[in-house]
């Protein structure tokens, strides 16, 4: 089939780079929004786990219940640990996304300045 970049001069490369930046900017922003909303729901989940664990401990201390709830509390705390772990991973991903967003913005500004100066 025909090649994507018809020419291979600086003009074609600039055009491709500009197109790539145009595509990257909204993609990075959208990813950032997604990560943010996932992190918010993770915080909510952690709060639910905490209150459930507190409730279980309270019931467990109430000797009228002939039921050992320790295993359930352990399971909950394990789940909570995993939630915190996922949140840390998401936080790192978000930091990387923000840095990428910053680089893309800087590169865009640099390119526009070059184009306005009239030289490549």
Token output for 50: 């905490």
Instruction: Provide the pLDDT for residue 104.
Output: 85
pLDDT at 44: 92
Domain boundaries, the chain: 10-66, 67-119
The pLDDT value given to residue 32: 86
pLDDT score of 16: 85
The rounded average pLDDT for each run of 10 residues, N- to C-terminus, in the chain (120 residues) is 56 83 86 89 91 85 74 88 91 90 87 80
pLDDT of residue 120: 56
Task: For 63, list phi and psi in degrees, rounded to 5.
Answer: -65, -10
pLDDT number for residue 22: 84
The pLDDT assigned to 41 comes to 92
Structure tokens at 95: 């930091």
Are 69 and 59 spatial neighbours (Cβ–Cβ below 8 Å)?
yes
């Amino acid at each position: 089939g025909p090649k994507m970049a018809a020419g291979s001069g600086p003009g074609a490369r600039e055009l491709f780079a500009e197109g790539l930046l145009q595509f990257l900017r909204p993609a990075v922003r959208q990813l950032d929004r997604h990560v943010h909303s996932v992190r918010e729901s993770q915080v909510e989940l952690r709060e639910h786990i905490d209150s459930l664990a507190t409730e279980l401990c309270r019931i467990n201390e109430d000797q009228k219940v002939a039921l050992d709830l320790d295993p359930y509390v352990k399971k909950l705390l394990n789940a909570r640990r995993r939630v915190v772990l996922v949140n840390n991973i998401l936080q790192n991903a978000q930091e990387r996304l923000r840095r990428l967003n910053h680089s893309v913005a800087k590169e865009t500004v640099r390119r526009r300045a070059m184009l306005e100066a009239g030289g490549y």
